[in-house]
A = this chain, B = another copy of it.
Amino acid sequence: MNKPRIVILGAGYGGLTTAVQLQKKLNVNAAHITLVNKHDYHYETTWLHETAAGTLHHDRSRFDIKDILNSSKVNFVKDTVTAIKPDEKKVELAGSTIEYDYLVIALGFEPATFGIPGIEEHAFKIGSINQARLIREHIEHQFAKYNNDPEQARLNIVVGGGGFTGIEFLGEIANRVKELCEEFDVDRSKVRLINVEAMETIMPGFDPELVDYAMKSLGSRGVEFKLGAFLKEVRKDGITIEQNGEKEDIPAMTTIWSAGVRANSLVEQSGLEHNRGKVEVTPELRAPSHEDIFVVGDCALIWNKAIDRPYPPTAQIAMQEAEVCAHNLAALIKGGELEQFQYVDRGTVCSLGEKDAMGSIFGGKKIYGWFASVMKKVVDNRALYKIGGVGLVLKKGKFNIF
């Protein structure tokens, strides 16, 4: 009898956790497991704002996938997925075609631009090591150019979107500006950090007290907030916003777009039934029309009935889904009960830079400042632990808590 072929697409939080859990649950002869990923490394997507700001080196935010995998159980293929063919039970990669008996789609997100002109071409996104590293270098390059060709736009950094990634990035870059100014002989008072958010608040959904805390913390470090402001256009050297019915042009050579993500568009192109690009999975995390396909992470849609909204695309949820997905795959292969996904809220902490953060833990307890920043590092280390155990935490963990 042939071993069932499990193919996992993507080695982000969802895909890599699935692979790691499967290699624990299945023995060598139970299945043929293949993990496909564009890079030979996994990166901590939720840490990329630090890499982009230049406060955490990208090698601290990534690790080799092969170091985590048991190569006798999981075959790693470094390649780019170009198409998913559910009805043919195969996946096309840039370099080959791969067939499956069970497929796990864990291809993550891509930026949603909402058709705003110029975002595609001129705005940076914090979505990969390559992009984050480019943001760091781009900002340094603009600072280096300033004394050769003094244009204010070189020192203005705009962040479009007051959600998690945008606010966390601002916390880091606000701290780094001093170092940038020293390195490039620039007067600190000339640098502007501007957050543009269409809603009337940053961090929508967060407790107003926490939001207030974040705005004061960032404001005291020079971040300007443009709330209720719509980004109308991004150009190479500036943006246009509309606030209270009035348009304003802001010169800026650096605009970072972090106001929206959507599922990887390969999902929509696959022909699978989808809801705005995501597969609305069964409680067992399967595609409704294809029992052999599991979807986890940002490509999956699960309704949070308590508030009648979908769960947000977070690393925490992706990893919880991956555990259920791995359990169910093992059950299908070895026999056993399928589990249903049940979200366990472990709290949410938003970093505001190296030594500040805010959030809620233990089912709603609000935390601030240094303690919150320590909790944030605990959260980050926990993600490492879940994927790579103590060894990975020791190698890549964050221990700078004082």
Contacts and interface: CB of A to CB of B under 8 A. Distances in A.
Interface stretch (A130-138, A220-228, A291-299): A130-138
Interface in A128-177: 129-131, 133-134, 136-138, 140-141, 143-145, 147-148
A148 B138 CA distance: 13
Contacts of A137: 137, 140-141, 143-145
A139 to B, nearest CB: 10
A184 interface: yes
Contacts of A134: 144-145, 148
Interface string A182-194: 0011000000000
Interface in A99-150: 129-131, 133-134, 136-138, 140-141, 143-145, 147-148
Given A130-B147, A137-B137, 17 more contacts: A129-B185, A130-B144, A130-B148, A131-B148, A133-B144, A133-B184, A134-B148, A137-B140, A137-B141, A137-B143, A137-B144, A137-B145, A138-B141, A138-B144, A140-B140, A140-B141, A141-B141
A189 B130 CA distance: 20
Interface residues of A, number: 17
Interface string A307-326: 00000000000000000000
Contacts of A145: 134, 137
A90 to B, nearest CB: 28
Contacts of A136: 144
A137 B134 CA distance: 12
A363 to B, nearest CB: 41
9 contacts: A129-B185, A131-B148, A133-B184, A134-B145, A134-B148, A137-B137, A137-B143, A138-B144, A140-B140
A136 B184 CA distance: 12
Contacts of A144: 130, 133-134, 136-138
Nearest to A138: B141
Contacts of A131: 148
Contacts of A148: 130-131, 134
A346 to B, nearest CB: 33
Q: Which 8 A-B pairs rank lowest in CB-CB distance, beginning with the nearest?
A: A137-B144, A141-B141, A130-B147, A137-B141, A134-B144, A130-B148, A133-B144, A137-B140
Nearest to A143: B137
A130 B144 CA distance: 7
From A130, A137, A148, residue with most partner B Cβ within 10 Å: A137
